[in-house]
Structure 1
Amino acid sequence: MAVSYMDFTSPSVQYFFDLSKNRSFTKDGRNYINALGIDQLNTLGNVSLLDIYMSRGNVVEPHIHQNASELVYCIAGGEIVSILNPFTKTVLNFKIAPGQVANIPQGWFHWELATEDNTHLLAIFDAPVPEFIAVSDFLRLAPRNMLAHTYCLDEALIAQALAPIKSTTTIGPPVDCVPKPQQRHVDAGQAQHPHAVYPGYAAPSSPESRTSDYPGIGNGFNRR
């Protein structure tokens, strides 16, 4: 248990906060995040949370919290929580519905895909202020020549592909994203499946699925 040094006799002590008063990110009216930490509620101690609202097909982008573990609790809607296990080098995908949770160890890459409209999540952290490193920041800031040299890629193609990323994405795809026509065939059964949100994004065969269950994640969205 964390040791508290709060002076509970102080007139500044806080026990209540309205989450709607601290919007930390807004994509649009259906995709936004409210935050709660010790800056909003000084009696929290070693805990904080994000109050996340998403519509179908939106993704909390790949990221890490280098100082905190995260427990994702589904209040409404549906979500696929994906975790990159750095020890087994596999991606684990967990479908969660209302009343279910997925746990993400500290410092592991992860992302969340809303499979239904009006999805509502609580992300709870064991740190007073969870730090956040987004993959979009790496992609937009990393030198193109370094990426090309390190991974033996075409520098011009890298620059062209990553040029639309102008800021931290947080919840993607960006509002100015226009899907390009898909070349691959999606069968009728998959197209109707609630988890076939992206073209080529197959429904997981079990609550815990590996990378092979999710081919082509995100390749249906490109900005022009």
Structure 2
Amino acid sequence: MATSYRDYTSPNTQFTYDMKNNLFFKKDDRNFIDALGIAQLNTLGNSSLLDIYLTTGNVVEPHIHQNAAELVYCIAGEAIVSLINPFTNQLLNYHIKPRQVANIPQGWWHYEMALTDDTHLLAIFDAPVPEVIFGSDILRLTPASVWAHTYCLDEAKVQETFAPLTQTVVIGPPVGCQQQGPLPDRAASSQYPYYGYSSHLPDSYGYYDTNYMQQGGYGQHPVYQQQTSYPQYGTNPSHTGYPPQPVYPSY
């Protein structure tokens, strides 16, 4: 807990908050994220929360928190929490059930996939305003020419592959995705080290035909595609996040 110099006699001091009033992102009525940061509860120390609801096969997309570690606690359902250990270059997959946790150190690449409907996760951060960089933004905002030149790829194929990424995904797959076939069986592949209680991921998953909706910055920003800086979970006068980024020709 950080040392606080707040005037606790002030009538503006907040000790409680209803997270339903701060929607961070909504894919549909069963896949959404509520958030709590110091902008919502001004007596918080070095802590904040994401309240995550997912159905089978939905994924909180690959991302990093550059200023915070994350502890993922499973309240209901089941999920795979995957992270890359940058010291060993291993992709680690942790299957968590209710009352179990997975920890992601600060700045590590990670993502979460629901294995059952009505999966409910609580993500706990050791920062009052955790920052985030989403994988979909890295993919879509880096010019295709840079990907092609750096990794000796076909630029036209890179452009075609990433063309559907027109905005930050947050919870994937996007509504209307036409992928075919089952989810990958990570436990059966030596490429993916696996830790947990189940032998495989679910065989299939469905989508919901509701409109794709999203709100960034703990409900502060209406749409991601209009942002020129990386989103944050809240507002803090002393912590404004990344400076505006240049507009790339391939947006």
Q: TM over 0.5: same fold? A: yes
> 2:240 aligns to what?
none
> 1:134 aligns to what?
134
> 1:17 aligns to what?
17
Unaligned runs of 5+ in 2: 195-200, 206-251
> 1:202 aligns to what?
185
Determine the C-alpha separation between the residues in 1 that align with 2:143 and 2:126. 34
Determine the C-alpha separation between the residues in 1 that align with 2:149 and 2:39. 43
Determine the C-alpha separation between the residues in 2 that align with 1:210 and 1:26. 32
CA contact (8 A) 2:78 2:116 kept: yes
Q: Percent identity?
A: 60
Determine the C-alpha separation between the residues in 1 that align with 2:186 and 2:93. 10
Q: State how 1:15-164 maps to structure 2 within 5 Å.
A: 15-164=15-164
CA contact (8 A) 2:90 2:193 kept: no
Count of aligned residue pairs for this structure pair = 196
> 1:7 aligns to what?
7
Determine the C-alpha separation between the residues in 2 that align with 1:203 and 1:147. 27
Determine the C-alpha separation between the residues in 2 that align with 1:212 and 1:74. 21
1:172-221 CA distance string (max 9 Å, x none): 000121123x4xxxxxxxxxxxxxx61xx11537xxx96256xxx9xx99
1:88-147 CA distance string (max 9 Å, x none): 001111000000000000000000010000000000000001101001001111111110
> 1:173 aligns to what?
173
Determine the C-alpha separation between the residues in 2 that align with 1:6 and 1:101. 32
RMSD: 1.9
CA contact (8 A) 2:67 2:131 kept: yes
Match for 1:6: what amino acid? R
1:28-65 CA distance string (max 9 Å, x none): 01100000001110111110000000000000000000
1:66 counterpart SS class: coil
Determine the C-alpha separation between the residues in 1 that align with 2:176 and 2:136. 16
> 1:193 aligns to what?
none
TM-score w.r.t. length of structure 2? 0.75
> 1:211 aligns to what?
192
> 1:188 aligns to what?
none
Distance apart, 1:2 and its partner CA: 1.5
